[in-house]
């Protein structure tokens, strides 16, 4: 029985291991500062009168609401089951399995490589430089090579470094790959650095795609709702491979409320609160001589802890979860803490102090 299943499993799937999401790594804990979620749980209403019906593939009110928020045409917006599904759709629509490749720039978000692997698409790594900007020389070589990537994934503000890519560099890369490769700009954290968005450049670059999500600043990780912003032509290609009903009716209703004028006000207030908390948390870490790594463009702080395993274990034992990022290039001994509310942030600092006092 198991031999048979093993035999018929795709060769490349045999090699895969499930993604170690923050939630899979630690299911316990009481204080979650490990997945860049919002500490706020906002209220929504639900109309159940049409739950017996299939929803629209792309609910027009939802698409209209996001297009309004992003200042684009509805034809330039695709809604999906989180930004993660947007990553997957791009790979499925543009990469021939076993043949094409994508480029990623680590240290960065893990799902680009995971999605590439699960569709048997080669993942070519062009690491960020020591100041977490793009390695333009290597990207230039790739742009002039025979083996062009189909997709180049950039992330700004980057997870887990919180850094922003210099605009001149991104523009250079868009031009370098014009007519060749789609440049995917992951803006999952853009509400924490709103002036850095590339949304106004969609009209100038037909190889630019932007990924967005309601999981971070909008405090809706639980509903799984993300958006892909691109030319109408690209959106039409993605619609060929998307599931018939990717956005459930409750998700569409809640997302629309979050994107209403009231919802946007709440989001902006919560972002302002979290930005002030991020400042405080950074100062507390620095006052304790932790090295802050990267920048504060998102809703988390990356820092170096010499005894990172022991620190992590101490926090986990006390029920507070953060995320180990030390396996990524350039991030030796780095831990990432999501900015929570003051109570959570204070508890995190108190636990660090407790740990340090025990170990003097």
For binding to ligand PLP (CB under 6 A), which residues are involved? 36, 82-84, 109, 155, 159, 186, 188, 213, 215, 221, 226
Phi, psi (degrees; rounded to nearest 5) at 184: -100, 115
Phi, psi (degrees; rounded to nearest 5) at 185: -100, 110
- Nearest distance from C-beta of residue 4 to ligand PLP, angstroms: 34
Beta strands in the chain (DSSP E): 31-32, 77-80, 101-104, 122-125, 151-155, 182-186, 208-213, 226-229, 291-293, 300-304, 320-321, 323-324, 334-338
In DSSP terms, 151 is beta-bridged to 102, 182
- Nearest distance from C-beta of residue 7 to ligand PLP, angstroms: 33
Phi, psi (degrees; rounded to nearest 5) at 207: -105, 15
**SS3 of 284, please?**
helix
- Nearest distance from C-beta of residue 223 to ligand PLP, angstroms: 9
- Nearest distance from C-beta of residue 155 to ligand PLP, angstroms: 5
CB-based burial, 54-74: b 16+ in 10 Å, e otherwise: ebbebbeebbebbbebbebeb
C-alpha distances (whole Å) from 261 to each of 1, 151, 210, 256 are 56, 35, 23, 10
- Nearest distance from C-beta of residue 161 to ligand PLP, angstroms: 11
Q: Whose Cβ is closer to ligand PLP: residue 188's or residue 322's?
A: 188
Query: Is residue 40 within 8 Å of 219, Cβ to Cβ?
Result: yes
Q: Whose Cβ is closer to ligand PLP: residue 155's or residue 164's?
A: 155
Name the nearest CA neighbour of 105 among 142, 152, 161.
152
Q: Whose Cβ is closer to ligand PLP: residue 214's or residue 351's?
A: 214
- Nearest distance from C-beta of residue 226 to ligand PLP, angstroms: 4
C-alpha distances (whole Å) from 147 to each of 89, 179, 209 are 22, 14, 21
Q: Whose Cβ is closer to ligand PLP: residue 155's or residue 301's?
A: 155
**Strand 334-338, strand 323-324: pairing:** antiparallel
Is it true that the peptide bond before 157 is cis, omega within 30 degrees of 0?
A: yes
Q: Whose Cβ is closer to ligand PLP: residue 109's or residue 303's?
A: 109
Q: Whose Cβ is closer to ligand PLP: residue 154's or residue 234's?
A: 154
Which residue, judged by CB position, is nearest to ligand PLP in the bound state? 82
Q: Rounded to an integer, what distance in angstroms lies between the CA atom of residue 137 and that of residue 77?
A: 33
- Nearest distance from C-beta of residue 315 to ligand PLP, angstroms: 21
Q: Whose Cβ is closer to ligand PLP: residue 84's or residue 191's?
A: 84
Q: Rounded to an integer, what distance in angstroms lies between the CA atom of residue 356 and that of residue 352?
A: 6
- Nearest distance from C-beta of residue 298 to ligand PLP, angstroms: 8
Please, what is the Cα angle at 316 between 315 and 319, to 5 degrees? 90
Q: Whose Cβ is closer to ligand PLP: residue 82's or residue 340's?
A: 82
- Nearest distance from C-beta of residue 213 to ligand PLP, angstroms: 3
Q: Whose Cβ is closer to ligand PLP: residue 118's or residue 356's?
A: 118
Name the nearest CA neighbour of 11 among 124, 122, 123, 120.
120
Q: Whose Cβ is closer to ligand PLP: residue 218's or residue 355's?
A: 218
- Nearest distance from C-beta of residue 307 to ligand PLP, angstroms: 27
């Amino acid at each position: 029985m198991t031999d048979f299943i093993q035999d018929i499993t795709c060769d490349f799937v045999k090699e895969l291991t499930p993604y170690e999401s923050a939630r899979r790594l630690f299911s316990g804990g009481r204080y979650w500062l490990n997945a860049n979620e919002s500490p706020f749980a906002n209220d929504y209403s639900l109309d159940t009168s049409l739950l017996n019906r299939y929803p629209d593939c792309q609910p027009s009110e939802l698409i209209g609401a996001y297009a309004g928020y992003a200042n684009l045409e509805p034809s330039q917006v695709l809604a999906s089951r989180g930004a993660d599904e947007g990553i997957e759709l791009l790979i499925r629509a543009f990469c021939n399995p076993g043949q094409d490749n994508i480029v990623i720039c680590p240290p960065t978000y893990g799902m680009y490589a995971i999605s590439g692997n699960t569709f048997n698409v080669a993942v070519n790594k062009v690491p960020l430089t020591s100041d977490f900007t793009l390695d333009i020389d290597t990207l230039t070589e790739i742009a002039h090579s025979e083996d062009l990537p189909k997709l180049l994934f950039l992330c700004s503000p980057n997870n887990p470094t919180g850094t922003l890519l210099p605009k001149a560099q991104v523009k250079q890369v868009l031009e370098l790959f014009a007519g060749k490769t789609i440049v995917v700009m992951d803006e999952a954290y853009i509400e924490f650095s709103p002036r850095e968005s590339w949304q106004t450049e969609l009209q100038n670059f037909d190889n630019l795609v932007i990924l967005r999500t309601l999981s971070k600043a909008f405090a809706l990780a639980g509903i799984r709702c993300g958006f892909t912003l691109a030319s109408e032509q690209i959106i039409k290609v993605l619609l060929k491979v998307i599931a018939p009903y990717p956005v459930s009716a409750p998700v569409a209703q809640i997302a629309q409320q979050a994107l209403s004028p009231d919802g946007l006000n709440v989001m902006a207030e919560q972002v302002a609160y979290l930005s002030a908390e991020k400042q405080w948390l950074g100062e507390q870490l620095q006052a304790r001589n932790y090295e802050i790594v990267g920048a504060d463009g998102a809703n988390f702080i990356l820092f170096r802890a010499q005894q990172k395993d022991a620190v992590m274990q101490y926090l986990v034992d006390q029920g507070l979860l953060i995320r180990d990022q030390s396996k990524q290039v350039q991030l030796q001994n780095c831990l990432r803490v999501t900015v929570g509310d003051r109570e959570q942030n204070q508890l995190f600092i108190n636990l660090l102090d407790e740990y340090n006092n025990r170990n003097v």
